Amino acid sequence: MGLNAKSRRWLTLLIAVLFGIGYAAVLFIPYPQAVPLRNDRFAIKWSDGTRTEESLASAAKDLYGISETGDVLLLRDGIFGTYVSKNGVKEACGLLEEGDLAPMLSMHFSFDRLESTALYFAYGDRLYFDTGDWFSFNGMRLAVDRIGRTDTVFFAGGELEASSLLTTGARTLIVGDRAELSYKTLWGTEVAVEGRARYSVTGGVIVENTLGGILTAGVPTARELVVPDVASCAQGALLPCRDAESLSLPFVGSRPVPAGEQFRGELGYLFSDGEEFYVPSTLRSVTVRGGVLISFAFYRCPALEYIDACGVEPSAIEKQAFAGLEQLRYLHTPRADVELEAPYKFTSYTAECGCTVYERKEG
Amino acid letter, 12? T
pTM, two decimals, is 0.85
For residue 39, the model assigns a pLDDT of 65
DSSP state for residue 140 in the 8-state scheme: S
pLDDT-based confidence at 302, cuts 50/70/90?
confident
Calpha distance 105→95 (Å, rounded):
10
DSSP state for residue 133 in the 8-state scheme: E
pLDDT-based confidence at 304, cuts 50/70/90?
very high
pLDDT of 254-281, one tens digit each? 999 987 778 999 999 999 999 999 999 9
Calpha distance 181→201 (Å, rounded):
12
DSSP H/E element including 127: strand 126-130
For residue 260, the model assigns a pLDDT of 76
Q: Which of 304, 300, 230, 294 is nearest to 271 (CA)?
A: 300
Calpha distance 291→270 (Å, rounded):
15
Which one is predicted more confidently, 98 or 36?
98
Calpha distance 261→280 (Å, rounded):
27
For the CA atoms of 327, 226, 214, 265, the dihedral, rounded to the nearest 10 degrees, stands at 20
* 293-294-298 Cα angle (round to 5): 75
Which one is predicted more confidently, 264 or 18?
264
For residue 363, the model assigns a pLDDT of 66
Q: Mean pLDDT in the chain?
A: 90
For residue 200, what are the contacts with CB-CB under 8 A and spacing of at least 6? 206, 207, 209
